[in-house]
Amino acid sequence: MPRVAAAKKTVVADIPEASEVSSVATEVKPETAFKGLTKADMAKLLLQMMGADAVAELASEKKAAKKTAAKKEPKAEKEKKEKKTGSQPKGKVPKQLLKPRAWVDFTLTHALENGWEEFIIHQKKKDKETEEVTEEEIVMPASELNEEGCYVYEGTIGLPKYPSGRQMIQKEAMSLSKQRWQPKTKSGTHPELYEEFEAQYEEPEDDEDDKKSEKSESSSKVVKRMTIAEKEAEQARKKAEKEAEKAAKKAEKEAEKEAKKAEKEAEKAKKAAEKSTTPKKAVSSAKTPIPAGQAKAILAQKAAEAKAAKSVASSKASVAEEEKEEEVEEKPKMVPSKKAATAGAGAAPKAVTAPKKPLVKKDLWGEVEDDGQLHPWTFGGKNYLRMASGEIYEAANGELGAWAGKWDAKKQKIDDSFPEPEYEDEDE
């Protein structure tokens, strides 16, 4: 479509003025007036008379009319026009291209296994602005082996993107296959490789006949003739089958539900029976109850710490007792005062009495072997399990029971306010 700017620059010579045109219109017929003008001259004359804006508006109206006509065109006719006859289904390679593609695959495999020579890639590029087409020839280098024993392009080893070198891809193998041999022109650098390819290439079998037979079988119609009574009877039979199937499914679900319920009830009854026959064990406040046979390894460190603390405490007590005895010995003896002496010569002085020693209570703890295990012990007519470090547990039927407390040697009783020590489970 010609540009309006170019049309504006065009000058038409010998165009009559408006007054002259009107006079000519009255005297001369239109056929005679425009007889000598060409279509281009008439378009220029129309542009001069109507103006560029009017012409542009007329062109836009014409374009809109074409779009409306295209929309009104029947969809079926449009699909017929757009549909290409003999087009290949999407994703399927045409039969005539199977062998060339197989030759490219063979070239790529051979190159990666045996290396390749220098070749040229031909490609065309079109400039979007100038629409100029440029043909490029890219020289691809030959191959070399890297440290892993793979063929890569020469000079690509150590690149940031390809530390081990860049290998050939299928797009580049297409150009190499054309260089090595072109069947159409029967020219190339490696005809022996093409002969090797043809020797192992197998032409795919044509399955068009099978497709036609399948199509004919699928398109064949089966006509079944019946009366209205037979049709109603068939519908009733199908409906009864559906109802029976639905009822069977419902009954199956109900039976499954009842079976699950009965299974739960049986499991609940079994647990209740086991609970009633099994003797109850004493509840311990410890996080992990420790049987006597397993306490040795778990409590060894705690027992050693308790023993060390006990020895320190006893040593401190003995030191304090010695200091107290020294103070008693250093205390001066009682001497009669002057007043008592003047009271009478016959009065005898008071005897000096030694301080009374505190009564030592009988040790109810007794001797316990410090082996890190629990030992049976009776106190106050009750059975316990105790350790040498002073930890005491209740004994329930010879087994470890609840925490009782820690032995207070000074008060000769069980201190039940002492918190139960927490031990890590040996299995952990």
* Lowest pLDDT segment from 218-232, 244-258, 335-349: 335-349
Mind listing the pLDDT tens digit for each residue in 389-419? 889 999 877 788 889 999 898 888 999 898 9
Strand partners, 394: 384
Q: Which residues contact 309 (CB under 8 A, 6 or more apart)?
A: none
The residue-averaged pLDDT of 310-336 equals 57
139-149 tens-digit pLDDT: 999 999 999 99
Element (H, E) at 120: strand 119-126
Neighbours of 8 (CB within 10 A): 10
- Rg of the Cα atoms in the chain: 58
pLDDT for 44 equals: 74
pTM over 0.75: no
- Contact indicator for 413, 365 with CB cutoff of 8 Å: no
The CA-based dihedral angle spanning residues 291, 293, 296, 302, taken in that order and rounded to the nearest 10 degrees: 20
Question: What angle separates helix 95-114 from helix 170-180, to the nearest 10 degrees?
Answer: 90
Per-residue pLDDT band at 63 (split at 50, 70, 90): confident
Question: Is the per-residue pLDDT at 112 higher than 90?
Answer: yes
pLDDT value of residue 356: 61
Q: Which residues of 316-332 are buried (b: 16+ CB within 10 A; e: fewer)?
A: eeeeeeeeeeeeeeeee
Give the pair of three-digit tokens for residue 342: 């003047």
- Between CA 193 and CA 181 the distance in angstroms is 8
**Mean of per-residue pLDDT scores for the chain:** 74
Instruction: Judge contact between 147 and 164, C-beta under 8 A.
Output: yes
- For residues 316 and 310, give the distance between their C-alpha atoms in angstroms, rounded to a whole number: 10
The whole-number pLDDT of residue 19 equals: 43
